[in-house]
Structure 1
Amino acid sequence: MIRWCRFSASLLLFSFLSLLLVFRYAYAVLPLVAAGLALLCLLFWIVNRESRWRLDRGDGAFLLALLVFAAVWVGDVWRTGVWPVGEGKQGMWLPLWPVLAALVLVAWRKAPPRAGFWWWGVVCGAFLVGGVAAYEHWWLGRWRVGNGINAIPFGNLSLLLGSLSLAGLVSLSSARNGLRLALALATVGGLLASVLSGTRGGWVVFPVLALILLLAFHATRPRWGRFRGSMVGLVAVLVAVLLAMSLMPGAPVKGRFTQGVANLQDYAGGDAGSSLGVRLEMWRAGWQLITLRPGLGWGEGRLEAQRDLWVEEGRFHQGISRYDQLHSDLVDTFARRGVPGLLSLMALYGVPLWLFGRHWRRSGDEQARALALCGVLVVVGFVGFGLSQSMLRDVRGLSGYLGLIVGCWCLVKGRTAGAGLSGR
């Protein structure tokens, strides 16, 4: 049974990484299947009195962060009687998704996926989004690509897939040449999709991810002087690839940056109707909402009602009423659920980041370090993405974050459980 559960977990993780941005309903179907199979495996183990659950304090902290975030969000729904709906009314049950992630984590800790499925899933996912982006941009003539979904989460998650591919490339010195070549090409595919999506927030975050990758590259080399040329070469290749993509004919990079500068100038002149101007208005409204009710926040539905009332009074641009969020996970969560919501968000970011960081620094297993590095990149990436977009209120954003950190954690623990670095 353990072998079957482990194979199903591996296959589901590979499918999730490959199809999240390609198959329209992958964000919901695959996690639901994973949770259902996890429940079946857990029930089987309980009936057969399997007592070795392999959970430690690190797992407990991870599970607590997931469940507290869900509990605060569900409590907010209970007090207001309003469920979040999300874009296209796809996010009705968003507050319960961390509970499903916790269920999967418990089952996958006992029967963890295999690491090879992670790397090839990342490769396939980056390949596919790169292909979709190229097809939409050059064949269909679309300026900003997105595969039929919001271009912002599409671009952010594509960038993350490219960065995870690069993490494998710089960390797995013992990987076979076929995997290394695939990771290199996948890096280009993920970055290409991000560039063609025109998602500016991701481009701001990427230098931070690149810095972490450079630190990881340096950490895998015992002597800085000996490998200085390699690091310089890596930076040069990466910069060349990004510049080449950015300067391609028709690429939206230059236009998006020019548009951003123009939007800021318009906003300074009193015109808040532009894309960036409306976002700045949402942040301004959000901070005013926070100052009025910092304790428990306004709650689901009530935030939108107060915001729209201010719009009617002429205090903010009417364009902000078109959205069901404030284009910032930090601002939106604080304004909506107050201090408890802010603390739960910090735990959802901070606990995994701390745990992944420990394993990245201390593990003696190369594969475990590479996977822990991926976990660090996922959390740091989402923290950065969430500064300018409510990624955790987007169905693919929340599903992607939960799936990536849970899958990565179970893989790391599967490699280190017997190597002396537990969750202490």
Structure 2
Amino acid sequence: MIRWCRFSASALLFSFLSLLLVFRYAYVVLPLVAAGLALLCVLFWIVNRESRWRLDREDGAFLLALLVFAAVWLGDVWRTGVWPVGEGNQGVGLPLWPVLAALVLVAWRQAPPRPGFWWWGVALGAFLAGGLAAYEHWWLGRWRVGNGINAIPFGNLALLLGSLSLAGLVSLSSARNGLRLALGLATAGGLLASVLSGTRGGWVVFPVLALIVLLAFHATRPRWGRFRGSMVGLVAVLVAMLLAMSLIPGVPVKGRLSQGVANLQEYAGGDAGSSLGVRLEMWRAGWQLIQARPGLGWGEGRLEAQRDAWVEEGRFHSGISRYDQLHSDLVDTFARRGVPGLLSLMALYGVPLWLFWRHWRKSGDDQTRALALCGVLIVVGFVGFGLSQSMLRDVRGLSGYLGLIVGCWCLVKGRCRSVPG
């Protein structure tokens, strides 16, 4: 049973990573299948007492962060009677997703996926995202690509998959040439998809992610200094490649940057109707909502009602009423669920970040350190993305974050048991 559960976990993790941005319903189909199989495995182990549970204090902290975030969100739904719907009414069950993630974590800790499925899944997912973006932009003539979904989460997730590929390329000193080539192509594919999506927030976050990878490389340099020259050269090539992608005629980078500057000038002049102007107005409204009710927040539905009432009074631009969120996970969560919501969000970020960083710093195994580095990049990436977009209120954003951190954590802990010392 353990072997079957481990194989299914590996296959589902690979499928989730590779299809998240390619198959439109991968964000919901694969997690539900994973949760269903996880429940069957857990029930079988409970009934048959097949083996001892592998959960420890670190797992308990991870599970607590997931369940507290879900509990606070569900408590908000209970007090208001309103469920979040998300873009296109696709996010009705969002508050329950961390519970499903906790169930999958329990099962996958007992039968963890194999690391190879992670690396090949990340590589294929980033590469396919880049290929799809190129097809949409140069063949279909779309200025901003997104595979039929919001271009912002598409570009952010593609960039993150490319960054994870870069982490594997730099960190896995014993990887075979085939995997190295795949990770190199995937890094380029993820960056290309981000560039063609026109997602400006991701371009701000990428230098931070690249710096973390370089610092991690520098810290491990004494172990495999012979790779230093080639890796530094590779990173330089990737940076040059990113700049080259940005300068290709027709690519939205220059236009999006120019548009951002013009939007700021318009907003300073009193015109808040532009894309960036409306976002700044949402943040301004969010801050006033927080000041009015910092304790428990306004709640699902009530936040939108108060915001729209202020719009009718002429306090904010009417464009902010088109959205069901405030374009910032931090601002939206604080304004909607108050201090408890803010603390639960900090735990959802902070607990995994601390645990991944701890394993990266203490482990003496290259594979474990590479996986732990990926965990750090995932959390830092979503923190950065969430400053200018409510990624955790987006169906693919929340699914992507939970799937990535849970899968990566189970791999890290699985390596800890298999590596001596």
TM-score by length of 1: 0.97
2:296 corresponding residue in structure 1 = 296
In structure 1, how many angstroms separate the alpha carbons of the residues matched to 2:290 and 2:279?
A: 16
How far residue 364 of structure 1 moved from its aligned partner, in angstroms, is: 1.1
1:345-378 alpha-carbon deviations (Å, 9 max, x no partner): 0000000000000011111111110000000000
Q: Is the 8 A contact 1:375 1:408 kept in 2?
A: yes
Q: Is the 8 A contact 2:133 2:146 kept in 1?
A: yes
In structure 1, how many angstroms separate the alpha carbons of the residues matched to 2:89 and 2:232?
A: 47
Residues paired across the two proteins, number: 419
Match of 2:221, SS state, is coil
Match of 2:380, SS state, is helix
In structure 2, how many angstroms separate the alpha carbons of the residues matched to 1:267 and 1:175?
A: 50
In structure 2, how many angstroms separate the alpha carbons of the residues matched to 1:256 and 1:180?
A: 33
In structure 1, how many angstroms separate the alpha carbons of the residues matched to 2:47 and 2:230?
A: 55
Match of 2:222, SS state, is coil
The correspondence of residues 21-420 of structure 1 with structure 2, limited to 5 A, is 21-222=21-222, 229-230=229-230, 232-415=232-415
1:85-132 alpha-carbon deviations (Å, 9 max, x no partner): 000000000000000000000000000000000000001101111111
How far residue 393 of structure 1 moved from its aligned partner, in angstroms, is: 0.1
Q: Is the 8 A contact 2:170 2:231 kept in 1?
A: no
Q: Is the 8 A contact 1:13 1:117 kept in 2?
A: yes
In structure 2, how many angstroms separate the alpha carbons of the residues matched to 1:225 and 1:49?
A: 47
In structure 2, how many angstroms separate the alpha carbons of the residues matched to 1:202 and 1:249?
A: 21
1:171-216 alpha-carbon deviations (Å, 9 max, x no partner): 0010000000110001000100000000000000001000001011
How far residue 220 of structure 1 moved from its aligned partner, in angstroms, is: 2.2
Q: Is the 8 A contact 2:55 2:109 kept in 1?
A: yes
Relative to structure 1, the CA distance from residue 64 to residue 240 in structure 2 (aligned partners, 3 Å threshold; closer, same or farther) is same
In structure 2, how many angstroms separate the alpha carbons of the residues matched to 1:226 and 1:167?
A: 17
How far residue 50 of structure 1 moved from its aligned partner, in angstroms, is: 2.9
How far residue 236 of structure 1 moved from its aligned partner, in angstroms, is: 1.8
Percent identity of paired positions between Structure 1 and Structure 2: 91
Q: Is the 8 A contact 2:333 2:341 kept in 1?
A: yes
How far residue 227 of structure 1 moved from its aligned partner, in angstroms, is: 6.8
Q: Is the 8 A contact 1:98 1:402 kept in 2?
A: yes
1:314-353 alpha-carbon deviations (Å, 9 max, x no partner): 0000000000000000000000000000000000000000
How far residue 234 of structure 1 moved from its aligned partner, in angstroms, is: 3.4
How far residue 81 of structure 1 moved from its aligned partner, in angstroms, is: 0.2
In structure 1, how many angstroms separate the alpha carbons of the residues matched to 2:29 and 2:239?
A: 37
Bigger mean CA offset, 215-224 vs 273-282: 215-224
Q: Is the 8 A contact 1:58 1:422 kept in 2?
A: no
Q: Is the 8 A contact 2:360 2:370 kept in 1?
A: yes
How far residue 235 of structure 1 moved from its aligned partner, in angstroms, is: 3.7
1:12-66 alpha-carbon deviations (Å, 9 max, x no partner): 0000001111111110000000000000001111110135110011000000000
RMSD: 1.6
In structure 2, how many angstroms separate the alpha carbons of the residues matched to 1:368 and 1:223?
A: 15
Q: Is the 8 A contact 2:294 2:335 kept in 1?
A: yes
Match of 2:272, SS state, is coil
Q: Which sections of structure 2, spanning at least 5 residues, go unmatched?
A: none
Match of 1:305, SS state, is helix
Match of 1:222, SS state, is helix
Q: Is the 8 A contact 1:363 1:421 kept in 2?
A: no
In structure 2, how many angstroms separate the alpha carbons of the residues matched to 1:38 and 1:76?
A: 28
Match of 1:135, SS state, is helix
How far residue 224 of structure 1 moved from its aligned partner, in angstroms, is: 10
In structure 2, how many angstroms separate the alpha carbons of the residues matched to 1:108 and 1:70?
A: 20
In structure 1, how many angstroms separate the alpha carbons of the residues matched to 2:335 and 2:50?
A: 45
Q: Is the 8 A contact 2:151 2:197 kept in 1?
A: yes
How far residue 72 of structure 1 moved from its aligned partner, in angstroms, is: 0.1
Q: Give every structure 1 segment of 4 or more consecutive aligned residues whose post-TM-superposition deviation is greater than 4 Å.
A: 223-232, 420-423
Q: Is the 8 A contact 2:173 2:224 kept in 1?
A: no
Relative to structure 1, the CA distance from residue 85 to residue 406 in structure 2 (aligned partners, 3 Å threshold; closer, same or farther) is same
Bigger mean CA offset, 44-53 vs 180-189: 44-53
In structure 2, how many angstroms separate the alpha carbons of the residues matched to 1:112 and 1:49?
A: 18
Q: Is the 8 A contact 1:214 1:231 kept in 2?
A: no
Relative to structure 1, the CA distance from residue 223 to residue 183 in structure 2 (aligned partners, 3 Å threshold; closer, same or farther) is closer
Q: Is the 8 A contact 1:56 1:422 kept in 2?
A: no
In structure 1, how many angstroms separate the alpha carbons of the residues matched to 2:166 and 2:120?
A: 13
Relative to structure 1, the CA distance from residue 37 to residue 261 in structure 2 (aligned partners, 3 Å threshold; closer, same or farther) is same
Match of 1:141, SS state, is coil
Bigger mean CA offset, 276-285 vs 45-54: 45-54
How far residue 221 of structure 1 moved from its aligned partner, in angstroms, is: 1.1
Match of 2:52, SS state, is coil
How far residue 232 of structure 1 moved from its aligned partner, in angstroms, is: 4.2
Q: Is the 8 A contact 2:365 2:419 kept in 1?
A: no
Q: Is the 8 A contact 1:171 1:217 kept in 2?
A: yes
Q: Is the 8 A contact 2:188 2:238 kept in 1?
A: no
In structure 2, how many angstroms separate the alpha carbons of the residues matched to 1:320 and 1:279?
A: 8
In structure 2, how many angstroms separate the alpha carbons of the residues matched to 1:142 and 1:231?
A: 34
1:271-308 alpha-carbon deviations (Å, 9 max, x no partner): 00000000000000000000000000000000000000
Relative to structure 1, the CA distance from residue 263 to residue 209 in structure 2 (aligned partners, 3 Å threshold; closer, same or farther) is same
Relative to structure 1, the CA distance from residue 40 to residue 208 in structure 2 (aligned partners, 3 Å threshold; closer, same or farther) is same
TM-score by length of 2: 0.97
Q: Is the 8 A contact 2:359 2:372 kept in 1?
A: yes
Q: Is the 8 A contact 1:165 1:187 kept in 2?
A: yes
Bigger mean CA offset, 238-247 vs 164-173: 238-247
Relative to structure 1, the CA distance from residue 54 to residue 198 in structure 2 (aligned partners, 3 Å threshold; closer, same or farther) is same
